[in-house]
Amino acid sequence: MRIVVTGGAGFIGSHLVDALLTRPSSDVLVVDNLSRGRRSNLSGNDGDPRLSVTVGDIRDPATVDRALRDAEVVYHLAAQSNVMGAVSDPRYSFETNVAGTFNVLESAARHGVRRVVFASSREAYGEPASLPVTEEAPLSAKNTYGASKAAAELYCRTFASVFGLETAVLRFANVYGPRDFDRVIPIWLARALAGEPLEVFGGEQVIDFVWVGLVVEALQRAADASIVGVPVNVGGGVGTPIRALAERILAATGSRSTLTVSPARHAEVSRFVADVGRMRDLLGLAPPSDPLEYLPRLAPAPAVRTA
């Protein structure tokens, strides 16, 4: 089976590629412009003849069209995936997340791709009226990143209904794990290990964290599950107060760093917890009771303090 992973050199995408290549019958083509992705994320598969990498941009229709020829399944993860980055450069966010997704869907329909699995985001919901958030909640994005994901979802739905292209939409909560950077957990881990203050904007956030391994399993199951036209939240289903996250990171690293509070950034959603009922029922996946149970894997063991 020929599989295409857009954004396959990125944080989530590279873990997905690792998992896909454990299947003996899979050939995987990665398409990534390496703006956030890193070629080194795929180094564990160097020499595997079933993996090929195209350094290219999904904003270019010709690049996408060449990549999707003869593909059976496309995992579409390529995106401007940083909220504040999308705020500072909304045009790039639109061109990548909306127009780029259109290019993927158009080529997939043209080449008879069986299914496109689209990585959406909890940011599409905006600031929720109540918690936990079900998939029936309105999409009311608070920032340009969330708006781009909501628009891309609508194109997925339209291509399914008008052109018969199977599209599966997964809405990710805050994913964490190895190879991530420039988000709260890797930033705070680095600062804690350096003995620097952990800066939080606002200080009252409640965040739903989900381990990258669970997300990768959800992506693989979404290629065959009966979820066309039925978006599915992929999260931990538990809200972690941001101050509790700081305490867990300090414990995991043995750091004496302090927590400093800066004014909230208006573009950021302050509270989110996913309802994961569909994830359990339609994908057969249940998150652990402690969504941060894998956090110690990301930090060296704290030093033993002596008197």
Question: Which residues are tagged catalytic?
Answer: 145
Q: How far apart are CA 12 and CA 96, in angstroms?
A: 17
Place of tokens 């989900």: 210
Q: How far apart are CA 23 and CA 32, in angstroms?
A: 22
- Across the chain, the runs of DSSP E, i.e. the strands, are 2-6, 27-32, 51-55, 73-76, 115-121, 166-172, 174-176, 198-201, 206-211, 232-234, 239-241, 259-262
What percent of the residues of the chain are helix, what percent strand, and what percent coil, each to the nearest 5?
A: 40, 20, 40
Single-letter code of the amino acid located at 190:
A
Q: How far apart are CA 138 and CA 248, in angstroms?
A: 33
CA atoms within 13 A on the CB side of 208: 25
282's enclosing H/E stretch is helix 277-283
Phi, psi (deg, nearest 5) at residue 78: -60, 130
Quick check: 193 and 255 in contact, CB under 8 A? yes
Q: How far apart are CA 178 and CA 60, in angstroms?
A: 30
- Residue 190 falls in which region: left (phi positive, over 0), alpha (psi -120 to 50) or beta: alpha
